[in-house]
Structure 1
Amino acid sequence: MSSEDIAEEIRTSFPGTEEVIIQYLSGYLVDDAGEEEDVLQVSRTLLESLAGDRSDVLEKLMTRLGDLLEDQLKARLKSRAGPKLLKLDKVMDMSRSGLSSTIALGEGVDLESINKGKASRVDVKKLEKQEAKLKAKIEKRSRRDLYEGSKLLDAHRKQQTYEEIFMKINPLEAANASKNKSKDIHLPSIDVSFASNRILSGATLTLAHGRRYGLIGRNGVGKSTLLRHIAMREVPIPAHITILFVEQEIVGDDTIAIDSVLKADVWRDHLLKEEALLNAKLAELEAEGDDKRFEDAREEAATRLADVHARLSEMDAESGPARAAALLAGLGFDEAAQKRPTRSFSGGWRMRLALARALFVKPSLLLLDEPSNHIDLNALAWLEDYLQTWPGTLLVVSHDRAFLDAVATDIVHQHSGRLDYYKGNFTQFYSTKSERDRNLRREYETQLEYRKHLQAFIDRWRYNANRAAQAQSKIKILEKLPDLEPPETEETEKFKFPEAEKISPPLLQLNEGTFGYTPDKIILKNINFDVQLDSRIAIVGANGAGKSTLIKLLTAELNPISGHVTRNGRLRVGYFAQHHVDTLIPTMTPVQFLASRFPGKSEQEYRQHLGNFQITGMTGLQLIGTLSGGQKSRVAFAVLSLLNPHILLLDEPTNHLDIEGLDALMQALDTWNGGVIIISHDERFITTVAKELWVCGDGSVQKFHGDVQAYKSLIVSNIKAKA
């Protein structure tokens, strides 16, 4: 039974399951399960989270897996039982005299000479083969530790509900404990590790209450790991400071969106339930007589109810539904969407729900990991405006410079195992850091020149009788100088797309195009759109307005119900989908993936091509599943460039790219000679790359006469006018 057969069974039973979970489970069941584990029970635990309320489907799948794995499970059971006991034909003499004579030989005995002439019962070749298999299994397990699948299994083994985690991290008593206490955080020396990698060593974590910090650093430096450590109080954050981390999308169920937001404030939900119970209890007690025990119970319940009312009043519980509705509206949920069950939303919209829940809770310390990756420009404009008046402390990981300029009051630069702090937004940070780097470089060069001058004097006059004393003095000066280390240099990245060959216009045109999935629900109507080799077009608009639909019409993935698309017969289009990672195979290396898509080149040629997008060294030979989001994006760009495209259609290409990667992409597109259409929420990326701004909405696609900043201001004004 192969792991692929198992994988196919899981796919059939639970379509839509992430491939990384499928691959991990199938590999675990067939190859990797330890003999001491009940493999089917462990797998059931993980699959239950996928099944939801489909228990009948789960039972059928488990029965099927049991049948398929019957032989392997029996073999494992037999192996677990160990060797059977045999009855001896003769009694062995284990007397002291027998043992002592053996022990007497122990000093300096030549065991080889004792067995000389006797054939060894060990099959050396079999032993070597078993050792090789064991070594391979150990290496496979160590690689799997890096693979996302093992982390998924660990997460499911330790799985807790949102409410349980919230109350564990933020116990209800913390609200009372926080009164009159400072909410500033100052930890002078923290260490943070992930597996065997040291992320921070002796770093200082300083977060002043009410400030908004942008956490920046290169892909893979450990920013998200730091946020998780803070969120789980694995660094000693004071207990009275409430924390909430928005990292993953919420789990979909039958709860409607607005109720999901209301329930996110576990304290409020807990107190409201207690209030209802106390009111019910008091109603029962009122019906009882004047007995002393009933009087005492009524008084106790009334006192507790008054305390609950005071706590609810402090947190402004009554305004909860109105606040939740306003947050959802700002993030793009209309009135109808707010009443839909959470399971009906896609992953991107569930991430918006997770963000709305966090904003509703208003923790003392809010942690956000790339919040702009999951929202369109309309919602991003609202979020920037909303966070500017955030009352608590904010620590946000983002590579969007415009977002950091709008939101951040401080920048934290994570690098070289430490945290450096800068006042101001990203632009101010960049200016300050550039100036500081120039000063450090000048100081280093001055010191280097001074030392060279001293050494030259010493070399010239060291053995001259008249100048020997002066030379000796210079030697002493040189010896007392501290070690000179060159300042850290920021690595720059470069992407390179192959030059597009010239072809005659028209290249790609949509003429009077109309499209709808049903005739009564038209998404785009009478659209005219023309793309040439020199086109640099950005398409913006709310999610669901039809931006991606327009791209799919241009790529012929969809056909208009009226109008037509004109394409040059020689035209090659490179399409970067918003969820590009879905097209990458996690169990392949980047080199293997390129070879599967574009066969015929040598490994060195594939690695050299990946180097054009900064996938260098051994990274090209790692499993794609172990790469960071930014590295996966780079692999996707490498695949696109091998198409030798004339036009690039890029749907949210900046997601996951760090600032250096984003700079490299912008520079590559600026120098490339093909046509570019982008869908993006990154203001700086749009401003740098695009020459035209088109707005998609109300079934049309219209050219906008203004820049991105003007468009965002218009959005915020419209949202405030409706509020």
Structure 2
Amino acid sequence: MITLKNVTLRRSAKVLLDGVSATINPGEKVGLVGRNGAGKSTLFALLNGSLHEDGGDFFLPPQWRMAQVAQHMPETAEPATAFVLDGDTRLLALRLALQKAEQAGDGMAIAQAHSDLHDAGAHDAAARAQALILGLGFQVHELERPVNSFSGGWRMRLQLARALMCPSDLLLLDEPTNHLDLDALVWLEAWLQRYEGTLVVISHDREFLDAVTQVTLHIDNAQLTRYGGNYSQFEELRAQQLTLQQAAYERQQTKIAHLQKFIDRFKAKATKAKQAQSRVKALERMEKIAPVLASADFTFEFKEPPNLPNPMLAISDAAFGYPPADGGTPTTILRGVNRTVLAGQRIGILGANGQGKSTLVKTIARMMPPLGGKVTEGKGLSIGYFAQQELDVLHGDDHPLGHMVRLARTLGVDAREQDLRNFLGSFNFSGDMVQQAVGSMSGGEKARLVLAMIVWQRPNLLLLDEPTNHLDLATREALSMALNEFEGTVMLVSHDRALLRAVCDEFWLVGRGQVGPFDGDLDDYQRYLLEEARRLRELARATAEPSAPAAATAPLARDGREQRKASALARQQLAEKTKPFKRELEQVDKRLAQLGAEKAQLEQRLTEPLPPTEIADCGRRLKACGDEIETLEERWLVLSSEIETLEAAQASS
């Protein structure tokens, strides 16, 4: 188990943990929570060995294998599958050992290496790596793309997959949900629930913490407190604890006041001096209970819009996608879109990764033109747009006040500097912070600046694409409250289910090339994602193939009876198409079983005393078996991919 006993941790001169003690048992899944700057990352640094305790005793079992997500951005041209596969450090070491044994012609070492590789799961390692990559939202045709061809967010997903690929007894995850869509987040939750090792995770997503943790460690005022239960249970227990602490504090203050009154009244009287002195000693011995200080949580509000057009906008038979590049053809993602947005609506936009959520939002936000149809805006429509990449377009060498001055000039508004300073102060940019370079700020501070700039514009339609990625729990709560009090219309894309539940009263589903209403709540959608994750990945791949336009025209829902008839016919047609592939796949499976048995016999034989010539023969045959197994496994993947392609094409027709 992991133990901390009277541990003190400092960052420079600041004490972040002061004489804390805690225990983490093997197999526990722990959520590490606390305000930004409380010391969560510092405790992580202690756990991963990059920081040592300044006092007390810290113990982590030396035999435990540790995995965590590398924070640097990978720049390699290595294919995605190979990059993730290299996360299995044990396989890497064993393959190196096999290579050395083969170079030395050491039959016994070759046999041992093959046996060890089999035990380490080398036979299905590539398939496991690809399952991780696909689960985190990538498409099949991206499995062999170079890592450096992906954007930063997608590369961080590959870093996460690489960490999950690593065999571990302790897994450390620091904000693993920041770069994930809701479908990938649901998949990650299911994976972590099956993880058998010890997990310690930092996250500001309360529903994610509720789903994957059973213990909560809370850092507050340089103290570390362990609570049994997930985040919601921790909140309830802490609220009860604070209530009891406040009541005990008030009772103690009453007692102190009574003792002090006696002391003040009788300390000058000779007959009462002895009693007064005993009460002075009682006060000195009394262990003081700290008061519960009201925390100054961040709050803000959206200003009342100057007008509310109704409808806000109307979309008629529209096609959304990307305009042609270099005179080519446009890429259509969504077609036949007919939706109306009314004043006061709270719309959550759902959909699997790659289905077109951001494309829809960007087009409504005027960042991209529609490829067809019509988008009619209401008179006086004013859009406040928070994009996932919004933080990247801030000027790193400028400061918050400079951003506000430039925004006012762009909008042609005459604003006094002091008014802008006061406004920034309401978003916790006070004093010297208004002159601090944005590039030196944290992700949460940058996100608050973007929110401040949106609020100042007084929009009547808010388009928010993953606004919580860099926000802590307190700021997420403030955003949720502000959105609920906002009098305009909200359209929200987010993987934060707590925010979606609190803000949205209806949902749109983006999928299969169309946009339609989703008849259900977030629990229904989560079940839908878990059940349909594989099919959605296949459909995402199909959109990049010639059959994609046909797939895009499929309706989101069909009549039940017609659907059953169509499904039966589709299954029959699919069986005919996939029959030859499945027949060959069965033959490959049989041959793999034969080779596996032969390999096991050779490995067993090599454990017995044999003449050197037989050892060499067994080693060569073992290598031949391994090579054939590798070839057949590659063929198995090709056949499986062909079958999946046919199934995807059938599903999308």
TM-score (norm 2): 0.75
Residue equivalent to 1:660: 474
What SS class does the counterpart of residue 510 from structure 2 fall into?
A: strand
Residue equivalent to 2:405: 595
What SS class does the counterpart of residue 644 from structure 1 fall into?
A: coil
Residue equivalent to 1:266: 89
Match of 2:255 among 450, 464, 471: 450
The 1:187–1:483 alpha-carbon spacing in structure 2 relative to 1, beyond 3 Å, is closer
Match of 2:451 among 616, 637, 644: 637
* Higher Cα radius of gyration: 1
What SS class does the counterpart of residue 564 from structure 1 fall into?
A: strand
Residue equivalent to 1:230: 47
Checking the alignment, whether the CA contact within 8 Å between 1:494 and 1:614 is kept in structure 2 is no
Task: Give, as a single letter, the amino acid of the residue that structure 1 aligns with 2:148.
Answer: R
Match of 1:539 among 340, 349, 369: 349
Structure 1 residue 199 and structure 2 residue 16: aligned? yes
Structure 1 residue 508 and structure 2 residue 325: aligned? no
The 1:222–1:463 alpha-carbon spacing in structure 2 relative to 1, beyond 3 Å, is closer
Aligned equivalents of 1:479, 1:272: Cα separation in 2? 68
Checking the alignment, whether the CA contact within 8 Å between 2:6 and 2:21 is kept in structure 1 is yes
Q: CA deviation at 1:476?
A: 3.7
Task: Give, as a single letter, the amino acid of the residue that structure 2 aligns with 1:547.
Answer: K
Aligned equivalents of 1:568, 1:231: Cα separation in 2? 55
Residue equivalent to 2:131: 326
Residue equivalent to 2:117: 312
Match of 1:562 among 372, 389, 414: 372
Aligned equivalents of 1:592, 1:420: Cα separation in 2? 42
Q: How many residues align?
A: 522
Residue equivalent to 1:580: 390
Checking the alignment, whether the CA contact within 8 Å between 1:227 and 1:245 is kept in structure 2 is no
Task: Give, as a single letter, the amino acid of the residue that structure 2 aligns with 1:187.
Answer: L
Aligned equivalents of 2:311, 2:289: Cα separation in 1? 61
Structure 1 residue 553 and structure 2 residue 553: aligned? no
The 1:473–1:260 alpha-carbon spacing in structure 2 relative to 1, beyond 3 Å, is closer
What SS class does the counterpart of residue 47 from structure 2 fall into?
A: helix
Aligned equivalents of 1:718, 1:609: Cα separation in 2? 46
Q: CA deviation at 1:489?
A: 4.0
Aligned equivalents of 2:281, 2:330: Cα separation in 1? 89
Q: CA deviation at 1:567?
A: 1.4
The 1:462–1:281 alpha-carbon spacing in structure 2 relative to 1, beyond 3 Å, is closer
Structure 1 residue 699 and structure 2 residue 509: aligned? no
Checking the alignment, whether the CA contact within 8 Å between 2:20 and 2:223 is kept in structure 1 is yes
Q: Quick check: 329-338 or 570-579, which moved more?
A: 329-338
Structure 1 residue 365 and structure 2 residue 170: aligned? yes
Q: CA deviation at 1:615?
A: 2.8
Checking the alignment, whether the CA contact within 8 Å between 1:615 and 1:634 is kept in structure 2 is no
Residue equivalent to 1:210: 27
Structure 1 residue 408 and structure 2 residue 213: aligned? yes
Deviations 1:398-427 (A, max 9, x none): 000000000011111122223221111101
What SS class does the counterpart of residue 140 from structure 2 fall into?
A: coil
Aligned equivalents of 2:92, 2:437: Cα separation in 1? 44
Task: Give, as a single letter, the amino acid of the residue that structure 1 aligns with 2:225.
Answer: D
Checking the alignment, whether the CA contact within 8 Å between 1:589 and 1:623 is kept in structure 2 is yes
Checking the alignment, whether the CA contact within 8 Å between 1:328 and 1:353 is kept in structure 2 is yes
Residue equivalent to 1:80: none
Checking the alignment, whether the CA contact within 8 Å between 1:250 and 1:353 is kept in structure 2 is no
Query: Residues 71-470 of structure 1 correspond to what in structure 2 (within 5 A)?
Result: 184-204=1-21, 206-235=23-52, 237-248=60-71, 250-282=73-105, 301-463=106-268, 470=275
Aligned equivalents of 1:403, 1:711: Cα separation in 2? 15
Residue equivalent to 2:541: none
Q: CA deviation at 1:635?
A: 0.9
Q: Quick check: 656-665 or 470-479, which moved more?
A: 470-479
Q: CA deviation at 1:534?
A: 0.5
Q: CA deviation at 1:247?
A: 4.2
Task: Give, as a single letter, the amino acid of the residue that structure 2 aligns with 1:322.
Answer: A
Aligned equivalents of 2:127, 2:182: Cα separation in 1? 24
Residue equivalent to 1:612: 426
Percent of aligned positions that are identical? 38
Q: CA deviation at 1:205?
A: 5.4
Checking the alignment, whether the CA contact within 8 Å between 2:314 and 2:375 is kept in structure 1 is yes
Residue equivalent to 1:37: none
Deviations 1:468-510 (A, max 9, x none): 6554543443333234532354332211211112333232222
Q: CA deviation at 1:553?
A: 1.2
What SS class does the counterpart of residue 494 from structure 1 fall into?
A: coil
Checking the alignment, whether the CA contact within 8 Å between 1:576 and 1:653 is kept in structure 2 is yes
Query: Residues 12-31 of structure 1 correspond to what in structure 2 (within 5 A)?
Result: none
Residue equivalent to 1:480: 285
Aligned equivalents of 2:8, 2:282: Cα separation in 1? 38
The 1:302–1:186 alpha-carbon spacing in structure 2 relative to 1, beyond 3 Å, is farther
Checking the alignment, whether the CA contact within 8 Å between 2:183 and 2:533 is kept in structure 1 is no
The 1:561–1:479 alpha-carbon spacing in structure 2 relative to 1, beyond 3 Å, is closer
Aligned equivalents of 2:493, 2:316: Cα separation in 1? 20
Q: CA deviation at 1:720?
A: 7.1
What SS class does the counterpart of residue 315 from structure 2 fall into?
A: strand
Aligned equivalents of 1:491, 1:307: Cα separation in 2? 62
Q: CA deviation at 1:685?
A: 0.5
Aligned equivalents of 1:467, 1:232: Cα separation in 2? 61
The 1:498–1:428 alpha-carbon spacing in structure 2 relative to 1, beyond 3 Å, is same
The 1:463–1:417 alpha-carbon spacing in structure 2 relative to 1, beyond 3 Å, is closer
The 1:356–1:601 alpha-carbon spacing in structure 2 relative to 1, beyond 3 Å, is same
Aligned equivalents of 1:187, 1:473: Cα separation in 2? 40
Aligned equivalents of 1:360, 1:550: Cα separation in 2? 34
What SS class does the counterpart of residue 523 from structure 2 fall into?
A: helix
The 1:463–1:230 alpha-carbon spacing in structure 2 relative to 1, beyond 3 Å, is closer
Task: Give, as a single letter, the amino acid of the residue that structure 1 aligns with 2:349.
Answer: I
Checking the alignment, whether the CA contact within 8 Å between 1:217 and 1:658 is kept in structure 2 is no
Deviations 1:18-43 (A, max 9, x none): xxxxxxxxxxxxxxxxxxxxxxxxxx
Query: Residues 41-52 of structure 1 correspond to what in structure 2 (within 5 A)?
Result: none
Aligned equivalents of 1:571, 1:497: Cα separation in 2? 16
The 1:429–1:541 alpha-carbon spacing in structure 2 relative to 1, beyond 3 Å, is same
Q: CA deviation at 1:576?
A: 0.7
Aligned equivalents of 2:303, 2:214: Cα separation in 1? 41
Task: Give, as a single letter, the amino acid of the residue that structure 1 aligns with 2:429.
Answer: I
What SS class does the counterpart of residue 21 from structure 2 fall into?
A: strand
Aligned equivalents of 2:267, 2:43: Cα separation in 1? 54
Checking the alignment, whether the CA contact within 8 Å between 2:90 and 2:120 is kept in structure 1 is no
- Flag structure 2 segments of 5+ consecutive residues without an equivalent: 53-57, 539-643, 645-653
Q: CA deviation at 1:250?
A: 4.6
Residue equivalent to 2:335: 525
Residue equivalent to 1:132: none
Checking the alignment, whether the CA contact within 8 Å between 1:185 and 1:238 is kept in structure 2 is yes
Residue equivalent to 2:436: 622
The 1:597–1:520 alpha-carbon spacing in structure 2 relative to 1, beyond 3 Å, is closer
What SS class does the counterpart of residue 304 from structure 1 fall into?
A: helix
Q: Quote the RMSD (CA, aligned, Å).
A: 2.4
Match of 1:494 among 281, 288, 299: 299
Task: Give, as a single letter, the amino acid of the residue that structure 2 aligns with 1:380.
Answer: L
Checking the alignment, whether the CA contact within 8 Å between 2:349 and 2:510 is kept in structure 1 is yes
TM-score (norm 1): 0.68
Aligned equivalents of 2:407, 2:459: Cα separation in 1? 15
- Flag structure 1 segments of 5+ consecutive residues without an equivalent: 1-183, 283-300
The 1:687–1:439 alpha-carbon spacing in structure 2 relative to 1, beyond 3 Å, is same
What SS class does the counterpart of residue 388 from structure 1 fall into?
A: helix
Aligned equivalents of 1:581, 1:266: Cα separation in 2? 35
